[in-house]
Amino acid sequence: MKFKAVLAVLVAGGMAVSAAAQPSGNAAPPPRPAGGAAPRSVLPPPEPIEHITGNVYKIFGGGGNTLVIVQRDGVVLADTKMPGNGQAIIDEVRKITDKPITTIICTHSHPDHTGSTDFIRELYPNVRVVMSEGTKAELAANPQVNPKLLPTETYKDRLTLGEGDDRIELFHTGVGHTGGDTFVVVPAAKLIFMGDVMAWNMAPFLPAGGAMAIAEETEKLVDAVKDMGIQIVVEGHGHVNDWAGLVRLAHFNRALVTAAKAAYDRGDAPGAAVAELKRNPEFAALLDTHIKKGLEYGNTPLARAHMNVNVAFTEFAGEQAGFGIANGAPLPATDKHKGSDPKDTAPPTPEMLAAAVAK
Ligand SMILES: [Zn+2]
Ligand SMILES: [Zn+2]
């Protein structure tokens, strides 16, 4: 609990910066809990590699999911977890193939998705490292950035890698979770990898773009890929979802902004907007009150919905959302709108964690 809270502060407060500041190598120590206790791992370690479909696999834990695509001449990885997980990723890949790692795609700049790129690069010096221009800019903004986390190539809003059954399509459809979010489509597998725009089947965490931006970003994504026959949606953490789940999330992000605006204009509290969302049965999973089993940091889907309504309120008021509270909840918006009832965004209790539901 305490460790989760500490990491949540790290994640919520300065993810992009801490990504760039991570030391190189595979032996980076885990964050030290406040109070100087002995360092210990705060994230569940990587789990055994799981088959998703065809030539596509995923590795859960140690940060975000790592997507593994076994191609004709080598292996493509999307996201490389926190620093210190490079060897574990390689060990899991070796259970299914001896082919070399040829390409690393980074969905965004956060350290739980880019952290072990340097280690894999030491083993495979010719590996392509591909990310959006925005992700490169966020990593490079830190003067102490580890150069081995930076890309060998970038793209603006659309890039095709490979051909035939090995074709991969990258999409950047706007600012949302970060300024450089990439979505990875594997057409032959009818699969998309979402990064943290979709994680744990809840509304996205919004440290960068805001509630209005994420609604636009996810709508644009659905529009861009809707004719590709996608059936499998791999989330940045936790779940494998489906196309209906992605469409539902896009609807939810838009409905949240609409309900938040109506509540704001009426002078109601953010909770009124959440109550409005609860009236739509389509959104039940996105307003669930349980902690997901294996959740690395954060809170329930319901608490995230409250957070995002608060983010929307700060936008309507022309203010900057702050993310200083341990569970990542944005600070109260305006004098008029004091934010959600604290009980609705309180950090999960030990009882909630003990009763966590399957990922
Ligand atoms: Zn993440
Ligand atoms: Zn992230």
210 DSSP assignment: -
Please give the Cα distance from 161 to 149 (Å, whole number). 20
Question: How far does residue 344's CA lie from ligand 1's centre (Å)?
Answer: 23
How many CB atoms are located within 10 Å of the residue 184 CB?
24
Closest ligand to the CA of 296: 1
Question: How far does residue 177's CA lie from ligand 2's centre (Å)?
Answer: 7
Closest ligand to the CA of 177: 2
Please give the Cα distance from 165 to 170 (Å, whole number). 15
Question: How far does residue 332's CA lie from ligand 2's centre (Å)?
Answer: 23
pLDDT at 1: 28
pLDDT at 291: 93
For residue 341, the one-letter residue type is: D
Six token digits for residue 208: 């960068």
CA nearest neighbour of 340 among 263, 283, 286:
263
Strand partners, 171: 158, 183
Question: How far does residue 125's CA lie from ligand 2's centre (Å)?
Answer: 26
Question: How far does residue 112's CA lie from ligand 1's centre (Å)?
Answer: 5
Closest ligand to the CA of 112: 1
* pTM (2 d.p.): 0.88
Six token digits for residue 215: 């609604």
User: If DSSP codes are grouped into helix, strand and coil, which group holds residue 242?
Assistant: strand
Strand partners, 161: 168
Q: Vertex 197, ends 255 and 153: CA angle to 5°?
A: 140
Question: How far does residue 309's CA lie from ligand 2's centre (Å)?
Answer: 19
Specify whether the CB–CB gap between 197 and 214 falls below 8 A.
yes
Residues of the chain where predicted confidence (pLDDT) is lower than 50: 1-41, 325-326
Q: Specify the length of the chain in residues.
A: 359
